[in-house]
Amino acid sequence: MRSSALERRLLGVNGLGRLTREFSQRTCLSDVVIVLFLVVLVAAIWFPRMLGPLDLRWDAGAYYVLGTALAEGKGYRLLNEPGEIEAVQYPPLLPVIIAIHQLALGTNDPVVVGRWLRLFFFLIFAGYIFAGYFVFRRFLSAPCALIAVLIVALSLYTVLVSDWCFTELPFALVTMLFVLSNSRGDGPLPRLFAAGSAIAAYLLRTAGIALLVAWIGEAALRQQYRKAILRLTLALLPVLAWYGYILRVEASDAYLHPAYSYQRADYLFYNVSYARNLSYKDPLRPEFGKTSPREAIARLHQNLTRTPASLGESVSATQEYWQLFLEWILGPVKQLPGTWRILKMGPDVFVLLLGGSVLVGVVLQFIRGSLLIPLYTAVYILLVCVNPWPELYWSRYWVPLIPFLALSLVECLLAVRRLASKGPLGHVKWLGNMVLPVVLGLVFTVQGLALYDLYVRSSGEAVSYDRHGRPIRYRLFWYGNEDRDLAQALDWLKATAKPGDIIATPLPHWAYLRTDLKAVMAPSERDPRKMQELLDSVPAAYVVVAQAGVDHTRDYTLPLLRGSPDRWAHVYTARGGGLYVYRRIHSERPEATSQ
């Protein structure tokens, strides 16, 4: 459909008018039907969890605390820390968004603001899915684009991170908007929007450097050197600004003379830069020491070998769900010879084949001349593989990449079907035609199983209290007994501790939000004597030791506390055991309580 002269005059031939004409030409009735279907799908994914505030555990608590500091005019600071130190780990865009919510609502109450953040993340999720679909339509037919966007929308980790106040989902949406605007040509409006989206991606996550590198690399590979230089100049603005800020903080007197002795220890990852924290062999086990260049290369190689299987999990589900699926379908024939071998090896084979298909799809895109997405995918994978974090974290890291992985998988499957259709044998053509529906049927079945488990078995009731002490009950993903025990222990501390007391606890930012007490992480030292000196330097009045799944410092703190009855009194135990609170002894030892 051609635009009228009036439309051209109003919208501009080279700007928004071109975008509108391209959209009109590519949009058909099937697109409208699919978009309406996606509206229903997004509503179905979110309807069971629209109540209550957004999840503020883990990194989310740090983002919220930083947003509160910005809203209160205190700068970019961790308010939970003694001395309210300047933060250097996370770029500031998500805290800025949180600060805007707090200023608009006139409160920093996590319950009130958290509810509006949940609505905000619902809109982000919806925008992400719709933008993903229109990105796919640049490369695929409407039915195939629907298949790709379903892989994204039904991904376990896409749904999971949408419940957390993390940067992954906003970052993923900004990336989709960047790809859409960058593919619109050289009009001034798309170019400005692409530049703004790329900068916003970096200000959300330092991993946004992968998008900036791919943006520059695309122009360079197309021999558009002036454009590449311009993009490099624009990319350096946020990178140098953030890096310069980190250098200023690290050179400050407050950084060099912290409020307590280990406040800026490299293993205290919330309080130091990524570069310092990731210099360890294992940031959660600093006693293993720093990584040498040779060890860093070996780690990169090892992580790269694990990547195909991890990518296969990202476009389907983790191997545990593949195992459950195989046990379900092979249940009636478990006694047949070879069944046990299938149950044991099947998940590894399936996710590896899916991951390999994804990588083949990336190569096909590059060969076809679509450079940006393959470049971004390659650089992003390299960044993930450089880090020393366990594979447990990888699925979360892949979330912003899942749309491109899904696109690559679908393109690979379509290429197999086209190749088989050219074969001389009828049964080869039949097998080629069956690859796409069989593989996608397996993927969607396992994704459905994973989502059922997430909503039914892997979610639990959380209780928060507003500023008036009224309980707010709602459900959160991955909220089990250990999380409930920690929340109850923090509530007990809020009622028991004195104003000015400092607690050492896992999830210190979440603890600060629940108790209004300064909260720090316990030190990670094997020597009990050194541990005691470090805790004395805080000085921590209480130490919370949570279950192993929540508290990575448990192995360091518990031996000290149990071995020093003259210094630390056991004052609280969770009902099921496993979580303990110890109080520093001053004059008398209190009676231990069990909740």
Q: Which residues are CB-contacts of 139 (< 8 A; sequence separation ≥ 6)? A: 145, 365, 370, 407, 411
- Sign of the CA dihedral 396, 400, 402, 404? negative
205-221 as b/e: b if 16+ CB within 10 A: bbbbbbbbbbbbbbbbe
- Which SS3 state, helix, strand or coil, does residue 504 take? strand
Structure tokens at 373: 């997405």
- Give phi and psi for 547, each to the nearest 5: -65, 160
**Domain for residue 527, yes or no?**
yes
User: Half-sphere exposure of residue 13, counting CA atoms within 13 Å on the CB side?
Assistant: 1
Q: For each of the chain's 595 residues, which pLDDT tens digit applies? A: 333 343 333 333 344 445 445 444 555 778 889 999 999 999 999 999 998 999 999 999 999 999 999 999 999 999 999 999 999 999 999 999 999 999 999 999 999 999 999 999 999 999 999 999 999 999 999 999 999 999 999 999 999 999 999 999 999 999 999 999 987 766 788 889 999 999 999 999 999 999 999 999 999 999 999 999 999 999 999 999 999 999 999 999 999 999 999 999 999 989 999 888 888 888 888 888 888 888 889 888 888 898 999 999 999 988 888 888 877 766 665 666 656 566 667 788 888 999 999 999 999 999 988 899 999 999 999 999 888 876 555 677 899 999 999 999 999 999 888 887 776 655 556 676 778 888 899 999 999 999 999 999 989 999 998 878 888 999 999 998 899 999 999 999 999 999 999 999 999 999 999 999 999 999 999 898 999 999 999 999 999 998 877 878 888 999 999 989 999 999 999 887 889 999 999 744 444 455 5
Interatomic CA distance for residues 545 and 4, integer angstroms: 69
**Domain for residue 127, yes or no?**
no
Tell how many helices (H) and how many strands (E) occur in the chain.
25, 8
Pairing of the two strands 518-520 and 542-545: unpaired
Ramachandran region, residue 245 (left: φ > 0; alpha: ψ -120 to 50; beta: rest): alpha
- Which SS3 state, helix, strand or coil, does residue 500 take? coil
**Domain for residue 564, yes or no?**
yes
Structure tokens at 63: 């983002």
Neighbours of 317 (CB within 10 A): 30
Interatomic CA distance for residues 536 and 261, integer angstroms: 9
Which residues face 584 on adjacent strands?
568
**Which residue segment(s) compose the domain that 527 sits in?**
486-594
Closest of 436, 408, 377, 439 to residue 139, by C-alpha: 408
Count of domains in the chain? 1
Interatomic CA distance for residues 90 and 207, integer angstroms: 11
**Domain for residue 493, yes or no?**
yes
Q: What is the pTM of this model?
A: 0.90
Report the pLDDT value the prediction gives residue 287, as an integer from 0 to 100.
87
Interatomic CA distance for residues 107 and 102, integer angstroms: 5
DSSP 155: -
**Domain for residue 490, yes or no?**
yes
Which residues face 86 on adjacent strands?
77
CA 314 to chain centroid, in Å, comes to 13
Interatomic CA distance for residues 39 and 252, integer angstroms: 50
Report the pLDDT value the prediction gives residue 28, as an integer from 0 to 100.
75
- Decide: 91 and 117 in contact? Cβ < 8 Å: no
**Domain for residue 518, yes or no?**
yes
Pairing of the two strands 471-477 and 542-545: unpaired
**Domain for residue 499, yes or no?**
yes
Residue with tokens 């309980």: 471
**Domain for residue 551, yes or no?**
yes
Neighbours of 86 (CB within 10 A): 21
